[in-house]
């Protein structure tokens, strides 16, 4: 029977399958960060268990890390205790850790691909919903809770049911200034934050094939925002080229064996998806969210919607609550919304290509004097590369702040937060109430919209800068 890519990866990892019980799925790579792991390690200790495969486990510090003064101890004692707990646990259980100050430190979903640990055909989990990012390499990668983190640490497996299959096909060519972020925001606006619930999404079509690996990661990253268990893209030459030569990529004869296997990882002709979504990339324009979930988005050229026009009662109520929180009036052109802060970073858009796109728009210009722009590379590696390319100078000369690597204002567990009532244009993935700081208001955007917005102080599409 023809199979989808996700089914192939899933089935290749079933350790044990018995009717009436979940399958036991083997996990090839377990990524760990400080927030969702301490209780899992405590559970191991309480039960006298060890970590079954420390060699398949990698930890880093990302959520709590300050992006200024990163070589001093963390000032917030509770954050510091959490990071210290991870350090002690990594030491006790023999797990590799990339701590603050380490050349491999960064957002967990940025360092996996960067080190070449993220590879096609793997099962990858992390106590973090954006683990779907790694699907860009053709891996089955999904987020888990702390009890499951403990389960994987102890057994290197997880009880699972085979997810349903969804295809999102994007054909056509993107217009200049339109990016992967706009594709995924448009997909989520179309199918809703629950549209892919219970499914793995496979992104396919000519527009997806044309994307770089980094752009593919942006798309897969936000699969969870459509409710999906995971998102993936079939590996191709771009995938292999990205991986070749990375520290943990196979080498020599192993490389050839790996590429031979990876080349078989595609959906068979005639495989059946439980749900199919089709999008034409050539019709897309820059997208922005106006509400408090990632499905509440529109093309930037449109206006704040009027809840009265929404037929479904629960959606209408959600829109009313969102607009009240966001402090927006129906009918206002989105391009007139002024922001206080621009955040460029996160596991969605904190990679080198994202920084390059933004820097290109900012080169030789100065940002709006009333707008603050935070540029936070996704990892120490990204930061070093950006500095080698002189991007830091471009950002600094434009008046932006150049920070250390971490999650930063994506969720404000460190000091980088919005103040109550402040508004941001953010390249991150969640515009939930208070996500970037208590009372903060978030508009999700692409890196180029973020840069254009920093220049004007209001939500701006890059195309509208021409002649400005």
- What is the footprint of other proteins within residues 234-263 (CB under 8 A)? 247-250, 254-255, 257-258, 261
Number of Cβ atoms within 10 Å of the Cβ of 314: 8
Let me know: does 106 contact 60? Beta carbons within 8 Å.
yes
Regarding 346 and contact with other proteins (CB under 8 A), the answer is no
Contacted by 172, from ligand SF4, other proteins, none: CB < 5 to 8 Å by type? none
Helix (H, G, I), strand (E, B) or coil at 276: strand
How far apart CA 303 and CA 334 sit, in angstroms, is 5
Contact code string over 311-350 relative to ligand SF4, x by CB under 6 A: -----------------------------------xx---
Regarding 76 and contact with other proteins (CB under 8 A), the answer is yes
Helix (H, G, I), strand (E, B) or coil at 217: helix
Which residue from 159, 333, 390, 421 is in contact with other proteins, where contact means CB under 8 A? 159
Contacts of 17 (CB under 8 A, 6+ apart): 23, 24
Contacts of 231 (CB under 8 A, 6+ apart): 132, 135, 200, 201, 202, 203, 219, 220, 221, 222, 223
Regarding 410 and contact with ligand SF4 (CB under 6 A), the answer is yes
- In the DSSP assignment, the letter for residue 178 is -
CA-based R_g, the chain, Å: 21
The window from 156-164, 213-221, 275-283, 456-464 that contacts other proteins (CB under 8 A) reads 156-164
Rounded to the nearest 10 degrees, the angle between the axes of helix 77-93 and helix 38-47 is 40
Q: Considering only residues 144 through 203, tell me which ones interact with ligand SF4, judged by CB under 6 A.
A: none
How far separated are the first and last CA of the chain, in Å rounded? 57
Minimum distance from residue 63 beta carbon to ligand SF4 (Å): 6
Contacted by 307, from other proteins, ligand SF4, none: CB < 5 to 8 Å by type? none
Q: Nearer to ligand SF4 by C-beta: 305 or 412?
A: 412
Q: Site size for other proteins, by CB under 8 A?
A: 90
Contacts of 241 (CB under 8 A, 6+ apart): none
Regarding 147 and contact with other proteins (CB under 8 A), the answer is yes
The window from 234-242, 276-284, 341-349, 407-415 that contacts other proteins (CB under 8 A) reads 407-415
Regarding 79 and contact with ligand SF4 (CB under 6 A), the answer is no
Which residue from 427, 429, 448, 453 is in contact with ligand SF4, where contact means CB under 6 A? 429
Write out the residues near ligand SF4 by the rule CB under 6 A.
Answer: 62-63, 107, 109, 128, 130, 346-347, 407, 410-411, 428-429
């Amino acid at each position: 029977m023809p199979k989808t890519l996700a089914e192939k990866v899933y089935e290749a990892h079933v350790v044990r399958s018995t009717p009436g019980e979940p399958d036991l799925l083997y996990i090839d790579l377990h990524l760990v960060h400080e927030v969702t792991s301490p209780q899992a390690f405590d559970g191991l200790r309480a039960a006298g268990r060890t970590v079954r495969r420390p060699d398949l486990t990698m930890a880093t510090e990302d959520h709590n890390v300050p992006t200024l003064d990163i070589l001093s101890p963390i000032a917030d004692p509770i954050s510091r205790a959490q990071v210290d707990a991870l350090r002690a646990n990594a030491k006790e259980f023999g797990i590799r850790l990339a701590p603050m100050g380490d050349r491999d430190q960064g957002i967990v979903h940025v360092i996996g691909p960067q080190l070449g640990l993220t590879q096609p055909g793997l099962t990858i989990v992390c106590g973090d919903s954006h683990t779907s990012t790694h699907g860009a390499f053709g891996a089955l990668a999904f987020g888990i809770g702390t009890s499951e983190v403990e389960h994987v640490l102890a057994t290197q497996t997880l009880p699972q049911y085979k997810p349903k299959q969804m295809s999102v096909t994007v054909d056509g060519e993107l217009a200049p200034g339109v990016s992967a972020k706009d594709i995924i925001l448009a997909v989520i606006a179309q199918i809703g934050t629950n549209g892919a619930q219970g499914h793995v999404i496979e992104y396919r079509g000519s527009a997806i094939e044309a994307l770089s690996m980094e752009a593919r990661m942006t798309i897969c990253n936000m699969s969870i925002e459509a409710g999906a268990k995971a998102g993936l893209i079939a590996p191709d030459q771009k995938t292999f080229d990205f991986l070749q030569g990375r520290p943990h990529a196979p080498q020599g004869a192993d490389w050839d064996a790996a590429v031979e296997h990876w080349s078989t990882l595609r959906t068979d002709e005639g495989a059946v998806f439980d749900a199919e979504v089709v999008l034409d990339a050539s019709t897309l324009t820059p997208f922005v969210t106006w509400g408090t979930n990632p499905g509440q988005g529109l093309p930037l050229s449109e206006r704040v919607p009027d809840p009265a026009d929404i037929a479904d009662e629960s959606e209408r109520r959600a829109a009313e609550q969102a607009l009240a929180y966001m402090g927006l009036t129906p009918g206002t052109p989105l391009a007139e919304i002024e922001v206080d802060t621009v955040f460029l970073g996160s596991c969605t858009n904190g990679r080198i290509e994202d920084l390059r796109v933004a820097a290109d728009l900012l080169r030789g210009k100065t940002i709006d004097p009333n707008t603050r722009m935070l540029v936070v590379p996704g990892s120490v590696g990204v930061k070093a590369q950006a500095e080698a390319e002189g991007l830091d100078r471009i950002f600094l000369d434009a008046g932006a702040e150049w920070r250390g690597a971490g999650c930063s204002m994506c969720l404000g567990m460190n000091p980088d937060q919005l103040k109550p009532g402040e508004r941001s244009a953010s390249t991150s993935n969640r515009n939930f109430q208070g996500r970037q700081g208590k009372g903060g208001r978030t508009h999700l955007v692409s890196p180029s919209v973020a840069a254009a917005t920093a220049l004007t102080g209001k939500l701006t599409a890059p195309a509208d800068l021409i002649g400005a």
